[in-house]
């Protein structure tokens, strides 16, 4: 539970920045999610760890209702501001923890979780809960920070992420995601690892990463093996990063 408190502390003080984040509100990402989910007008959706509300607000025009949850009250307030600005009135906001969802089995047609799973302190329990509240035939969508397959990347990139954000728990590689999802009553559909790029000034500023921490992050990158470093090009103002995206159907 310590990680939950870290999440609340770190994100409570930065909630407004996350509502305004270009990364979390990226229109192309949200449109790709909508294409993968193909939401039905009568669908009831759950947005897990809504943050600034971008996922809930993207889904709302295409479904009957969205329940947006987060463990950080300040984030829920920012998400509500986002929804209000867009004139969306079919989103309800609720403070709760993904590890213990207060919803009935099979309550939702769609469950989405974007850019949050790396904060969950028990990913297996979180995924079990998301799957439990999903209807048979319902769709689960996940987009999250990821790392390349392999012991070095899985270890060192997570170490780097933890230095930047103390509430970071773990980013999972594709092989790890496939193993986790394979333990659940799900049929995996489209899935991919996507390379992207962080704008380092913005990435550091969003979490208030200090100069000493920034130097340590560059030291980790510089000391990667040649093979691993080739997967993670970086410069003074950018770093390569990866995301894992998938959609699965509950069977």
- CB 122: neighbour CB atoms within 10 A? 14
Helices (H), 91-238: 123-132, 151-164, 174-182, 200-207, 211-222, 226-231
Q: Give the pLDDT of residue 201.
A: 87
Residue 25 confidence (pLDDT) = 54
* Architecture, CATH, for domain 2-146+167-198+242-250: 3-Layer(aba) Sandwich (3.40)
Q: What are phi and psi of 91, to 5 degrees?
A: -115, 130
Quote the pTM value: 0.90
The pLDDT, as a whole number, for residue 15 is 46
Domain limits of the chain?
2-146+167-198+242-250
Structure-block tokens of residue 241: 């990063």
Task: Kindly give, in sequence order, each residue whose CB lies less than 8 Å from that of residue 218, ignoring residues fewer than 6 positions away.
Answer: 234
For the segment 20-54, what is each residue's pLDDT rounded down to a tens digit?
A: 555 555 789 999 999 999 999 999 999 999 999 99
The radius of gyration computed from the CA coordinates of the chain, to the nearest angstrom, equals 18
Q: Give the pLDDT confidence score for residue 12 in this predicted structure.
A: 43
Q: What is the pLDDT of residues 12-29, one digit of tens each?
A: 445 455 445 555 557 899
- Dihedral sign for Cα 217, 222, 224, 229, please: positive
List beta partners, residue 239: 198, 234
How many CB atoms are located within 10 Å of the residue 1 CB?
A: 9
Tokens representing 238? 């950018």
**pLDDT-flagged residues of the chain (< 50):** 2, 12-13, 15, 18-19
Which pLDDT score is estimated for 207?
84
């Amino acid at each position: 539970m310590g990680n939950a408190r870290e999440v609340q502390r770190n994100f409570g003080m930065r909630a407004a920045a996350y509502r305004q984040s270009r990364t979390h509100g990226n229109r192309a990402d949200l449109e790709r999610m909508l294409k993968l989910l193909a939401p039905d007008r009568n669908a009831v959706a759950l947005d897990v760890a809504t943050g600034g509300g971008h996922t809930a607000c993207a889904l709302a025009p295409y479904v009957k209702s969205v329940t947006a949850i987060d463990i950080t009250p300040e984030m829920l307030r920012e998400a509500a501001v986002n929804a209000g600005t867009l004139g969306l009135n079919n989103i309800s906001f609720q403070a709760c923890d993904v590890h213990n969802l207060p919803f009935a089995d099979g309550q939702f047609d769609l469950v989405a979780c974007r850019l949050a799973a790396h904060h969950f302190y028990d990913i297996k329990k979180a995924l079990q809960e998301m799957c439990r509240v999903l209807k048979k035939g319902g769709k689960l969508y996940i987009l999250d920070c990821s790392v390349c397959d392999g012991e070095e990347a899985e270890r060192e990139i997570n170490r780097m992420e933890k230095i930047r954000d103390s509430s970071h728990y773990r980013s999972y590689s594709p092989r790890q995601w496939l193993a986790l999802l394979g333990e659940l009553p799900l049929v995996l559909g489209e899935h991919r690892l996507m390379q992207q790029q962080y704008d380092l000034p913005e990435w550091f500023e969003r979490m208030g990463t200090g100069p000493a921490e920034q130097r340590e992050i560059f030291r980790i990158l510089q000391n990667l093996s040649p093979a691993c470093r080739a997967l993670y090009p970086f410069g003074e103002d950018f770093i390569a990063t990866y995301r894992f995206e998938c959609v699965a159907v509950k069977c």
